[in-house]
């Protein structure tokens, strides 16, 4: 009886582990965000809600506006637009700005 209980517990544990392993890639995908159309980015074109598309990804830079070392106006000018050229022109290849950007990623720019 005791042995059976142990077997059942172990089987249950294995099932839970298997489920967790299967669910993990899905969670990682969710962390990747969702597809966002440029038209939706364009609806977030103010300092109150500032989304910017850069190199095929979309970022919510609202919180970053007052923190940008290069000035709030530089970021505000990009709200609601595809700012790839401006970002690359200023910061292309710089690790700091690129990793900073990652913190604000909310999704991928839909085709």
Q: Does 83 bind ligand HEM (CB under 6 A)?
A: yes
Please count the CA atoms within 13 angstroms of the CA of 82 that sit on its side-chain side.
13
Closest distance to ligand HEM from the beta carbon of 67 (Å)? 9
Judged by CB under 6 A, which of 35, 70, 88, 92 binds ligand HEM?
70
Pairing of strands 105-109, 34-36: parallel
Q: Does 56 bind ligand HEM (CB under 6 A)?
A: no
Q: Does 105 bind ligand HEM (CB under 6 A)?
A: no
Which of 88, 111, 110 shows the shortest CA–CA distance to 101? 88
Q: Does 74 bind ligand HEM (CB under 6 A)?
A: yes
Interatomic CA distance for residues 55 and 86, integer angstroms: 11
Interatomic CA distance for residues 31 and 107, integer angstroms: 9
Judged by CB under 6 A, which of 91, 105, 106, 110 binds ligand HEM?
91
Q: Between 37 and 91, whose beta carbon lies closer to ligand HEM?
A: 91
- Tokens standing for 11? 């089987």
Yes or no: say if 61 and 51 are a contact pair by the CB < 8 Å rule. Answer: yes
Q: Does 84 bind ligand HEM (CB under 6 A)?
A: no
Binding residues vs ligand HEM (CB under 6 A): 52, 68-70, 74-75, 78, 83, 86-87, 90-91, 96-97, 100-101
């Amino acid at each position: 009886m005791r042995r059976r209980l142990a077997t059942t517990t172990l089987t249950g544990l294995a099932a839970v582990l298997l489920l967790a392993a299967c669910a993990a890639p899905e969670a990682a995908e969710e962390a990747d965000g969702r597809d966002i159309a440029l038209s939706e980015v364009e609806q977030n074109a103010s300092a109150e809600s500032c989304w910017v598309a850069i190199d095929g990804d979309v970022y919510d830079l609202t919180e970053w506006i007052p923190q940008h070392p290069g000035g709030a106006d530089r970021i505000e000018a990009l709200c609601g637009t595809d700012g790839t050229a401006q970002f690359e022109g200023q910061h292309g290849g710089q690790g700091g700005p690129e990793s900073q950007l990652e913190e604000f990623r909310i999704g991928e720019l839909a085709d």
